[in-house]
Amino acid sequence: MSTGHEGIAAGNSAGSSSFSRWVRAITALLLVASATFVAAYYVPLRRAHMLLIQEQQKSVQKARELEQTLGQVRGELQAKAAEFAKVEAERQQAAAAKRSGLERAEQLKSEVAGKLDKQIKKGVAAVAVADGHAFVVLAESAVFLPSTVDVSPQGQGLLCQVSAALSASVGQAPLRVGAVSGPPDSVPPALQAAYPTPWELSAVRAATVAQSLQDKCAVAGARLSAVGHAEHDPAAAALGETKLPPGRVEISIALPAASPADK
């Protein structure tokens, strides 16, 4: 009996030892499998996950930077658009004012020309508009007595007619009187003797006309100025093909600027 029990115990001990080896082997296999899984799958997946997170963060940061840049560009575009709109509005206003000014100038020219129709047809008067001024140009023979600087009775009436026509169209704006003497060979000898230079002759004639407008035509002296142009004619370009003698008297008035309502 003793021997039998010992055999059974020995068998149990051997079986237990074998089981333990199997457990250790399986455990080792599991550890190896786990290590292999971690090495082969988890670590790369972890690294890939971290890279994805980093790329996502970079993408978010880049998106923020792009959004900020886009906002700045949008703001600049809006500012440029507003500036362009302002410039365009000013351009349109200026164009409208210019059109209005041209229309007013042509209207004034027609009104004054209508009142001086007889003198214009006779070739002793002309009306022109240039550089913001309306010019009424009169031949010196229609204003002065022959070979003098004295205003003739007919000339006085013509001067009053001109000042009345300009005042009716423009109001009490200043009147500038200018005189052009013409070339020396067109000046009578008596006048050449009294006024040796074209500057002297033209200055005296301009002053005489201004004085006549004040004394005979009731034009306030504060509205008048006089200047001699000698042989230089500032209204020549505006007159174009109008044929008038070289010696002239020019009465000009500044055209009114376009009002805000006209714009």
At 105 the pLDDT is 64
Residue 131 gets the label, from left (phi > 0), alpha (psi -120 to 50) or beta, of left
**Is the distance from CB of 125 to CB of 115 less than 8 angstroms?**
no
Instruction: Count the domains in the chain.
Output: 2
Q: Looking at the DSSP assignment, which residues form a beta bridge with residue 139?
A: 248
Domain boundary among 70, 87, 107: 107
Kindly state whether residues 127 and 232 are assigned to the same domain: yes
Kindly state whether residues 223 and 205 are assigned to the same domain: yes
Kindly state whether residues 135 and 238 are assigned to the same domain: yes
Residue 122 domain flag: yes
Residues 235 and 136: their CA atoms lie apart, in Å, by 9
Kindly state whether residues 47 and 129 are assigned to the same domain: no
Residue 243, token pair as written in the block: 């044929």
Domain boundary among 76, 107, 138: 107
Q: How much is the pTM?
A: 0.59
Residue 61 domain flag: yes
At 259 the pLDDT is 40
**Is the distance from CB of 234 to CB of 137 less than 8 angstroms?**
no
For the chain, list residues with pLDDT below 70. 1-16, 35, 37-43, 92-105, 241, 256-263
User: Smallest Cα–Cα separation from 175: which of 224, 105, 229?
Assistant: 224
Residues in the chain: 263
Kindly state whether residues 196 and 231 are assigned to the same domain: yes
At 117 the pLDDT is 87
Query: What helix, strand, coil percent values describe the chain, rounded to 5?
Result: 65, 15, 20
Kindly state whether residues 101 and 136 are assigned to the same domain: no
pLDDT, the chain, mean: 80
Kindly state whether residues 100 and 77 are assigned to the same domain: yes
Range of the domain at 146: 116-254
The CATH number for 212's domain is 3.30.1330.60
At 262 the pLDDT is 40
Kindly state whether residues 177 and 135 are assigned to the same domain: yes
DSSP string over 69-113? HHHHHHHHHHHHHHHHHHHHHHHHHHHHHHHHHHHHHHHHHHHHH
Kindly state whether residues 120 and 250 are assigned to the same domain: yes
**Is the distance from CB of 115 to CB of 161 less than 8 angstroms?**
yes
Residue 216 domain flag: yes
Domain boundary among 49, 73, 107: 107
**Is the distance from CB of 225 to CB of 177 less than 8 angstroms?**
yes
Q: What is the pLDDT of residues 126-165, one digit of tens each?
A: 888 877 788 899 999 999 999 999 999 999 999 999 988 8
At 49 the pLDDT is 78
